Structure 1
Amino acid sequence: MSKLFQSTTVGDIAVANRVAMAPLTRNRSPGAVPNDLNVEYYRQRAGAGLIITEGTAITHQGQGYADVPGLYLPEAIEGWKRVTSAVHEAGGKIVTQIWHVGRISHTSLQPDGGKPVAPSAIQAKSKTYILNPDGTGAFAETSEPRALELNEIPGLLEDYRKAARAAIDAGFDGVEIHAANGYLLEQFMRSSSNQRTDAYGGSIDNRIRLTVEVAEAVAKEIGGGRTGIRISPTTPANDVSDPDPTAVYTALVEKLAAHDLAFIHVVEGATGGPRDVLPFDWAALKAAYRAKGGKGVWMVNNGYDRETAIEAVESGYADVVAFGKPFIANPDLVRRLKEEAPLNELDGSTLYGGGEQGYTTYPALA
């Protein structure tokens, strides 16, 4: 049997196989509170070695899309308790992706209709998902942000810490820090979106500072063995870019190596798109992390299938392979991969918002 289907540990988390379910925004948690539908959705997918939930906002300010869950309301924590209990009862392990979208938001989603925050007051050429007055969903241009003040950074770090503690209180096995896909932490790391001149802007060390400080704060609160992080060095998602991603992300993983994290989750290429969007040596990134003593599981993502996932793990290139959209249409994806069974076809029209159709209605194998 391939190592892909054998048990292992991800930091302090014992998992049944080396297939992870990647975080997938589905916009089905009205009021930022997980509900019965969410419970069933994650329960169905408990065969994954490790489920990483959809992005979950650390604060109201961190919200960027309608009907995505949060971790900042008592009702949300109670809702998540039902999700984690269902996954654990089905034999699975689950961590939540803690998320602050930064400038990828809209005033209608922000506290008191305020501006979203960002490293610099640069509007993203991107869209988000909001609710119309009649309750229907629609995509809209992101709003102009304001730059975070230097004296707001300690409070932001505290928000991440509180969210990590709330996740553990809600029964999660750990958290994944969202530092990818053009959201707040990546906005700080990329020069196109960070034009600050203080300690969090300018040099690479300054631009990666906030991400490293968040990882340190979360790991100190819940333990490095229950803390992971997701990065996407070459994605152009949400209008971010940098002329030297190799230098930025090599410096980042070298700093992260000191914090004994459970895993580094790497999106190889454009998120959900081509892997070769920019030249990048993915093996060298892992080698740089290991050379600095980093022991976390190396999780890879983007465009993998059964054959390439098995090869990645057997060769030692990766420790775990994460799958995104295949898990949407195939709640029993691990079994299907193991048995070389055909996969269900994805209905793209039901990805965002709606009810059970295209969410909990995909069939498992008989």
Structure 2
Amino acid sequence: MAIEITVPSAGESVTEARIARWMKKSGEAVKVDEPILELETDKASLEIAAPAAGVLTVTVEAGQIVKIGQVIGSVDPSGKATVAPAQATVEKKADPKGEAKADVKLSPAARAMVADSGLDAAKVSASGPAGLVTKDDVLKHQSAPAPAANGTAKPEPTRPAKSDGPRETRQPMSMIRRRIAERLLESQNTTATLTTFNEVDLSAAMDLRAKYNEKFEKKHGVKLGFMSIFAKASVVALKAFPLVNARLDGGDVVLQNFYDIGMAVSTEKGLMVPVVRNVDAMGFAEIEKEIGAVAKRARDGKITPADMTGGTFTITNGGIFGSMLSTPILNPPQAAILGMHSIQKRAVVVNDEIVIRPMMYLALSYDHRLIDGREAVQFLVRIKECVESPERMLFDI
């Protein structure tokens, strides 16, 4: 008797999903617990495994919107396969075209482009974490001028070549991107958002990293980054100004006496904000490890709705993309979000002398219904004090 495949519950308030792709074809043999399809909700992507060994029957094709609990296929334990394994077909088609060697790490989108275009993946410069080749890396490699015979770059043509492809392409917005758009619009329409700015001298933090990073990494297996320093500084400031860590619930102000901080992560599917729990009880090493773990799950498409709910405050770092200044948008029901930016050496006055220091602009967007300008400014000043004098965080002063 065939065993039905239904759309599982994907978290509170999630009522529908989109079938992103079937990893196996209808009529193909599958193994128990083998991933057979990818579902995309407005919060995360989920891999669904085969409930039993047998032959797969697909009843709802990829790209369709489905409801939680809906039957989308089945597995017949006594059935006979009528389709060859999909993976073998893919490999036969991909190998003659593009080279994706085992020692080259590629994102799923980059791997597909390499396979279709015939590129040698080893020649593409990687910009992603841990040497990951991204879709943008492949596009940049394809648009780079080809080298001439003497090794110098060929001059670009004076007139661009006419494209044989369509001038426009249309594709459906992903469930995650659609939800991001809805939440951003909701944030703008339902909060009284105001942003205050300050700047921080990172000399002391950079000296601290230079002095201890080698020993820190050797002992803990992770590097000492700026995110853990700003996370600890945020906890100090949140304790000093509890309203920044609060939320509005109807006509009530809910003071939250825990510190679960969202860390914005950019992925190929859009911006996600996984939450690092109980940051106040963590040391720098624990924070760095947890940030790395949740960011990896987000980029690998393995993040779950539980990973992104319940945060009390958010930190976003546009500086990794070169942003010098921005106004972050609130992540409701949170009342505030801290924006970090790129570090630039600038001339500043210290003790009546002009010196060159590594400076970063900070931005705090906050809900003015709950937080007054005075508290917001003082909160940002407290973060500045902690980052400029990291010992304050060690002695909680």
TM-score, with normalisation over the residues of structure 2? 0.24
Higher relative contact order (CA 8 A, sep 6+): 1
TM-score, with normalisation over the residues of structure 1? 0.25
- Which has the larger share of strand? 2
Based on CA coordinates, which of the two structures has the bigger radius of gyration?
Answer: 2
